[in-house]
Structure 1
Amino acid sequence: MTMSYAGTTALITGASSGLGAEFAARFAARGANLVLVARRTDRLEDLARKLRDSDSISVTTLSKDLSRAGAGAELGEELAGRGIRIDTLINNAGFATSGPLVKEDSAVIASEISLNVASLVETTRAFLPEMLAAGRGALINVASTAAFQPVPGMAVYGATKAFVLSFTEAVAHETKESGLRVLALCPGATRTEFFDVLGSQAAAVGRLQSASQVVDAALRALDRRTTPVSVVSGLGNRLLAGIAQRLPRNISLAMAGRAVQD
């Protein structure tokens, strides 16, 4: 079953490139109107023009730094003031840092935690009541295969994604009687600007997937009669995540450390 989102509105954070832009194109193709949020206004506007022309939908763009405290709540208030109600929320915005914690910049990792964790929770809380009331959309939180074990060399990033996975699975259980589909999407290494921002390819464990392949995995999960609470994109990534969960903690920890730091 391929779900249609005609007549609904999807809010996508981190929408200017990579997975966010791919999600925007796919939901537009399924008939959803869009609210696209990111910091880079020029890229948002370019994407919005293309999607309006190709899919004849409404696209609203908002330039916002979601790593700021309170930005998620502000977003909710701003859209409410415009009379825009959200049926689907895709929390995709996030970034990673790498290296031993003792060498990381304190301000940068504080921003990483704020964006990957605090903003995701705040934005989810801001829009969850109206999404539950609509009962026809989805909540997708982008986690990572880094969520399944600690990641030495990317300690903060791995911990933020473990939080996203745990948080999303809990919200899925809390809302299971509603019509809202709640999914934690766990990609492995993906061909996006992620590694440009990270400044290293060391964390690219396994075969790189395209953004299209990752979004395919998410949409297949949403199209199922019963949406799973989480999905790992790619067979190889699913095998590695499964192994990490079954191994003794000290062994999976050592393996992750070698994979990232080698």
Structure 2
Amino acid sequence: MGFKVAFLGLGVMGYPMARHLAKAGHEVTVYNRTAAKAEQWVADHGGKMAHTPQEAAQDQDFVFCCVGNDDDLREVCTGAQGAFHGLKKGAIFVDNTTASAKIARELNAKALELGAHFIDAPVSGGQAGAENGQLTVMCGGNEEAFNKARDVIACFAKAVTLMGESGCGQLTKMMNQICIGGLLQALSESLKFGMNAGLDVEKALGVISKGAAQSWQMENRGHTMVADKFDFGFAVDWMRKDFSLVLEEGRRNGSQLPVTALVDQFYAEVQAMGGGRWDTSSLIKRL
């Protein structure tokens, strides 16, 4: 039996994530800041469209959200027409935005005051993972609420894991982004080195991807980097936003992040080249 579910934010990630919820048999109400996107989603997949986050959240069992940053999230949750004004007691708000651990804790506290629950649940897997329902979801929040939400989240995920209390999902996503930045810079340097050495780089990728250097980025982005293609959804602008969260948290908890700080500067150079909307593998364009 399906649940009553709302989805707030129908970007490149949210649009297919909401589709998987509907496909699984849940009754889905969607909201998007640009109403035409929500109208198109309903035309494509059925369900209902709401004109405000508050309207979308009313009488829902679960409310999912995937927006841009802390400010967007705060507005869609607690703004004048925010979803929290429509949450019923016992509802579970699942936030798939990549945001700060600080705002996750803030919104968790507000949800509890309303008799509801908040789970920070950022995702990894990119646009392809969202389209194919194969995202990895890292969660922070109350264990009982997580257990109720896990199977619903799993509609668009291959792995859903509770990492700890509120904010722990976001902190785990920061670890994820640190790894991706470093891997992509190393992959960029490796590919350019091979080109400069006169190697058949495609052939070389086929060899080194079978050994200890193998990574998801190598398997999925190496060949497209060689082909100068950078249109795979997760933009440099968003990675820089994520890195700002990482570096701020690192300052707070005393972590040394020299590689992340350097790659962040390299992404700033890519932005200056006009590549703000290129995918994160575009680091090679600097070289």
Q: Tell me the TM-score normalised to structure 2 length.
A: 0.46
Higher radius of gyration, 1 or 2: 2
